[in-house]
Amino acid sequence: MWQAVSRSDHLWQLLSRQVWARTRLMHDTWRDEFIYRHRTARNFQTRSYVHVTLNFDPSDVDEPDSLSCRCLRLSDLYLAAGFADGTVRLFLLNSRLHVRTLRPPPRDRFGRFSRAVSGIVISDSRLVFATMDGDIHVAEINGVGSHTRTAFVGDIVNDGALVDFTGCGRYWVGLFAGVPGRAFHIWDCINEETTFVGGSLTDPEAVMGWHTLTELTMSLGRLRISGGETAVAWTGWRIMVIDLRNQGVIIGEDEEQRRGLIVTGFDANDQAYVRMDSRGNAIVRRVRTQETVCEFRVSRAAQRRVMGCVNRLHALMCAGGVMRVWDVQRGGEYLYSFRERVGEVDAIVANDRHVAVASSSSTAVSTIHLWDFGAL
């Protein structure tokens, strides 16, 4: 009987959803899917990966800033990289090739970086990206050429700069800085209509919000969607959890008044977020309850340049060009550092199989590193 049950694909589908949060089949059977996810997680624990740098043609740009990567996003099939000139370059993960370049339609600039990409939402069929002037652009993944459609035209004078942008299957969410009382913008991404504007999270950073349009400043805030219906946003002093279903109602807050928070050391997954203070103390907390999952300490060396991210099981922090990994499920146990050194990090992203980093040198040209833990 147990042998018969073990061959049930429905059983393996339930296990894949429960253990690995997988609802999409990427292999021949759900049993194969479960085994593959288990092996990939084991590779993450034991530092078993393939490392490559991704290549693209840099000759199609007009300004030096155009080759500075500002954000990265992963799907099951693609890596999307957003640059300072509003360009998004798309890479196919299986082949590691640059397959498409997307550009927003021409528009007047409100500053040197007003067309910089502030956030990307990617699925395997559609890519959505926003620029710092508040515009939102949409492209079909399987489309041809660089054409994009503008779904929403920003109002930079009345809203300020869009410092981060994210989304899911139901919502797009933007974090703005520059105009008090208008920190959060929520859109229904199905009909592409604005459903909420408000919030004071970035009011203390209002002046710096305008500086982001003309200067390469430190990140003022970050924004992530957790669990599909909750957004987590943070600045250098405050973290706020909002309910996307109920017009941005605040359901949780976390503050650090004494030491301040490292904005680039934050990230969130479907259940928890990681925060780090200026002394390198990192805490992982559950989004809904604020319950502490684990704590660990990041080296204070080059701590102002720390950049971090999380996947379902691990927290990753890059400081001084060294990428380090902690096990969130085992009380914040330190595991290892990557063998490669990456320099100054501009953007970072991770899921359960891949880690991607964009780093820059004195030439302001970003190098995109990719680590694949599922290739072995």
List residues bridging with 239 in a β-sheet.
234, 254
* pLDDT average, residue stretch 273-277: 92
pLDDT at 113: 87
**Angstrom distance (rounded) from CA 322 to CA 139:** 35
Assess contact for 280 and 303: CB atoms under 8 A.
yes
* pLDDT average, residue stretch 227-238: 91
Nearest of 47, 18, 13, 15 to residue 29 by alpha carbon? 13
Nearest of 150, 151, 190, 184 to residue 169 by alpha carbon? 190
Is it the case that residue 364 has pLDDT exceeding 80? no
Which residues lie closer than 8 Å to 76 by C-beta, 6 or more apart? 24, 26, 93, 124
Is it the case that residue 249 has pLDDT exceeding 60? yes
Is it the case that residue 339 has pLDDT exceeding 60? yes
Residue with tokens 């992203």: 349
Provide the 8-state DSSP code for 237: S
Is it the case that residue 302 has pLDDT exceeding 50? no
The 3 state secondary structure assigned to 14-77 is HHHHHHHCCCCCCCCCHHHHHHHHHHHHHHHHHCCCEEEEECCCHHHCCCHHHHCEEEEEECCC
**Residue 306, class by beta-carbon neighbours within 10 Å (0-12 exposed, 13-18 middle, 19+ buried)?**
buried
pLDDT, tens only, 120-153: 999 888 999 999 999 999 999 988 778 899 999 9
Helix (H) or strand (E) holding 285: strand 281-286
Nearest of 184, 121, 114, 183 to residue 151 by alpha carbon? 121
Task: Find the range with the poorest average confidence among 24-38, 90-104, 144-158, 244-258.
Answer: 244-258
Assess contact for 89 and 62: CB atoms under 8 A.
no
Assess contact for 223 and 171: CB atoms under 8 A.
no
Cα 321 to the center of its chain, rounded Å: 19
**Angstrom distance (rounded) from CA 313 to CA 226:** 15
pLDDT, tens only, 6-56: 788 999 999 999 998 898 999 999 999 999 999 999 999 999 999 999 998
Mean pLDDT score across all residues of the chain: 90
Is it the case that residue 300 has pLDDT exceeding 70? no
pLDDT, tens only, 148-200: 999 999 999 999 999 999 999 899 999 999 999 999 999 999 999 999 999 99
Centre a 10 Å sphere on the Cβ of residue 86 and count the other Cβ atoms it contains. Answer: 29
The dihedrals phi and psi of 103, each to the nearest 5 degrees, come to -135, 145
**Tokens (6 digits) for 217:** 């400043």
